[in-house]
Amino acid sequence: MHYDFRTNVNWKALAEEHTLLDDLAGEARRREEEAHATTIALLNTTYRTWQRMFRRRPRIRFNGCYISTINYIRAGQQTNSLAWNSPVHIVTYYRYLRLFRDGTAITLCTVEEPSNVVHHMTKDALALHKGGAMAHLPSSTMQHALRARWRLSSAADFVDEDKEVSLADTEGNLFIESDGGGNYLYRMELALRTAGKSGSNNKLAWRGFYSYNKSAAVWDEFTLKDIKPFFFSRVKSYGFSELQSSQ
What does the pLDDT average to over 177-197? Answer: 91
Tell whether 42 and 135 lie within a shared domain. no
28 and 102 share one domain: no
Clarify whether residues 168 and 220 are in a common domain: yes
Residues 206 and 86 reside in one and the same domain: yes
The pLDDT > 90 percentage for the chain reads: 44
Asked whether residue 120 carries a pLDDT value surpassing 80, the answer given is yes
- Mention every residue, 6+ apart, whose C-beta is less than 8 A from residue 177: 5, 9, 148, 149, 150, 185, 186, 187, 188
Residues 124 and 41 in one domain: no
Q: Which residue range(s) make up the domain with 29?
A: 24-54
Total structural domains within the chain: 2
The pLDDT of 59-69, averaged and rounded, is 95
For position 158, what pLDDT does the model report? 80
The answer to the question of residue 4 being in a domain is no
Which has more confidence, 170 or 84?
A: 170
Q: Is residue 82 part of a domain?
A: yes
Indicate if the pLDDT at residue 246 is higher than 50. Answer: no
Is residue 239 pLDDT above 50, yes or no? yes
Output the pLDDT for position 30. Answer: 75
Question: Does residue 241 surpass a pLDDT of 50?
Answer: no
What's the mean per-residue pLDDT of the chain?
85
In a domain, 11, yes or no: no
% of the chain surpassing 70 pLDDT: 87
Are 150 and 44 part of one and the same domain? no
| Prediction pTM value | 0.85
47 and 166 in a single domain? The answer is no
Where residue 22 falls among pLDDT bands split at 50, 70, 90?
low
Are 134 and 110 within one domain? yes
Domain boundary among 54, 72, 101: 54
Whether 49 and 118 share a structural domain: no
Task: Say yes or no to pLDDT of 61 above 80.
Answer: yes
Domain for residue 247, yes or no? no
Residue 157: pLDDT over 90 = no
